[in-house]
């Protein structure tokens, strides 16, 4: 196995060996970054970056060509971003490797996102939906037509949420169609079509095509252009329910982005729900440790959530109780909070265990927020209310934000304090 601390310049890169070593070490993201003199690999494991191998510029170029060919990307296309995916099998387990390339000052940066291929998608509850966010989602997917926005930064995370929602929809699978940028695990009964702009199958063109079919629900990976957004509005107007990803950091920013892109007030009227998501490392259930947080940790959390306000603490304690009743980490029946403060938390065990590749973390958990688009919210968007004020208004009206969802999952033993603090830094 390659030692991630070894930064000796290596001459013969082999992408398969790099991926095998990464997977067996619990890595979820591999970064390949050029410098003026070398190409450096860094590994993200349990939310932390670790220095890896270095290659000469020539060897690094060979490595990037290997990856592009596997993902069926343009080898000579270096001045614009590309995105693709390929599949590999390691230790009898299938994996998807999502490849994202981008031009940078010293050449081309490549990021590899590693996903386990499962026989069936997770449910929305397994991904991390619960409480008022889950209720809002369940109500929105029963609407006969309109638009549901899934805001996110990573396409494979948006795909995971879309596939989970597909399993929760109250319509037969043969009434669904999924438009995706590259192949996804085939779900029996769901029609899937991959975008191919060069063949007249761009996202906007496919959305327009499905206005005339018998499908009740259309799912789409990512709406990125004004044409995509306008085609989405037209599809929703035609009587379909569209559930689509939008590249944004949270639910309210996604609405602002959508409104500006469509330039249509009628487009916002058709949005039933806007959601935001962030996936973070999940504590390993086999080796996580229960402990009492020290004063330094409590002060850090208090600065963010104002636990000195007794009403705030009682509200958080009530939310944690609701989360437990909703099945959020039923493996831990002890509550992390009381009506007066935080009493216990969980953390990764140093050195982990065999199950988590000795990292202390295993898999990811989603942090979510969801806001129905009310008449009042439509009016604020039409009047171009500032993003910060708009978000605060939605939270004041009861939205459980990503940040608060993260705190509840901290109390429930799903994530640790460093992960939660990283969310706020982002």
* pLDDT above 70: residue 164: yes
User: Worst-scoring range by mean pLDDT, 34-43, 72-81, 262-271, 355-364?
Assistant: 262-271
Q: Output 2 or 263, whichever has higher pLDDT.
A: 263
Question: Quick one: average pLDDT of 303-326?
Answer: 89
Give strand ranges (E) for 11-124: 29-34, 38-45, 48-56, 82-90, 93-104, 107-116
Question: Quick one: average pLDDT of 315-319?
Answer: 94
* pLDDT above 50: residue 4: no
Secondary structure element (H or E) that encloses residue 194, with its range: strand 191-194
Mean pLDDT estimate for the chain: 88
Its pTM stands at 0.81
Written as six digits, the tokens of 78 are: 């270096």
* pLDDT above 50: residue 238: yes
Burial of 301 (0-12, 13-18, 19+ CB in 10 A): buried
pLDDT digit string, tens, across residues 363-385: 899 999 999 999 999 999 988 88
Q: What Rg do the C-alpha atoms of the chain give, in angstroms? A: 22
Q: Which residues contact 167 (CB under 8 A, 6 or more apart)?
A: 121, 123, 124
Give CA–CA dist 374/394, Å, rounded: 10
Domains observed in the chain: 9-116 (3.30.450.90), 124-279+364-402 (3.40.50.300), 281-363 (no CATH)
Share of the chain above pLDDT 70, in %: 93
Nearest to 67 by CA among 107, 26, 98, 106: 98
Nearest to 182 by CA among 87, 249, 112, 111: 87
- Residue 13: predicted pLDDT: 78
Predicted confidence band at 1 (pLDDT cuts at 50, 70, 90)? very low
């Amino acid at each position: 196995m390659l030692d991630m601390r070894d930064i000796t310049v290596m001459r013969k890169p082999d992408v398969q060996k790099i991926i095998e070593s990464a997977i067996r070490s619990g890595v979820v993201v591999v970064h390949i970054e050029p410098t003026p003199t070398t190409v450096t690999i860094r590994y993200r494991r349990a939310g932390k970056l670790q220095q890896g191998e270095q290659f000469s510029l020539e060897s690094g170029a060979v490595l990037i060509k290997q990856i592009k060919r596997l993902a069926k990307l343009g080898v000579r296309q270096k001045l614009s971003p590309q995105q693709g995916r390929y599949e590999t099998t390691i230790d009898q387990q299938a994996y998807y490797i999502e490849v994202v390339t981008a031009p940078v000052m010293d050449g081309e940066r490549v990021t590899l996102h590693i996903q386990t291929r499962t026989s069936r998608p997770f449910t929305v509850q397994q991904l991390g939906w619960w409480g008022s966010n889950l209720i809002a989602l369940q109500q929105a997917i029963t609407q006969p037509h309109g638009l549901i926005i899934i805001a996110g930064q990573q396409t494979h995370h948006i795909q995971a949420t879309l596939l989970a929602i597909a399993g929760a929809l109250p319509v037969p699978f043969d009434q669904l169609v999924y438009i995706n940028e590259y192949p996804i695990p085939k779900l029996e009964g769901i029609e899937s079509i991959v975008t191919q702009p060069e063949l007249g199958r761009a996202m906007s063109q496919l959305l327009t095509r499905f206005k005339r079919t018998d499908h009740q629900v259309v799912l789409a990976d990512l709406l990125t252009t004004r044409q995509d957004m306008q085609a989405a509005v037209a599809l929703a107007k035609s009587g379909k329910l569209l559930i689509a990803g939008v590249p944004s950091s949270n639910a309210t920013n996604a609405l602002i982005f959508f409104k500006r892109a469509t330039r249509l007030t009628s487009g916002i009227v058709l949005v039933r729900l806007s959601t935001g998501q962030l996936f973070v490392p999940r504590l390993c259930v086999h080796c996580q440790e229960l402990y009492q947080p020290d004063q330094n940790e409590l002060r850090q959390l208090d600065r963010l959530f104002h636990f000195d306000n007794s009403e705030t603490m009682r509200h958080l304690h009530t939310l944690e109780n609701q989360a437990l009743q909703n099945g959020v980490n039923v493996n831990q029946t002890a509550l992390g909070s009381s009506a007066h403060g935080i009493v216990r938390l969980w953390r990764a065990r140093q050195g982990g265990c065999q199950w988590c590749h000795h990292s202390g973390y295993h898999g990811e958990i989603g942090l979510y927020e969801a806001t129905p688009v009310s008449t009042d919210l439509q009016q604020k968007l039409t009047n171009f209310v500032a993003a910060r004020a708009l978000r605060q208004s939605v939270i004041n009206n009861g939205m459980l934000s990503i940040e608060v969802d993260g705190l509840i999952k901290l109390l429930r033993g799903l994530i640790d304090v460093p992960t939660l603090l990283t969310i706020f830094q982002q």
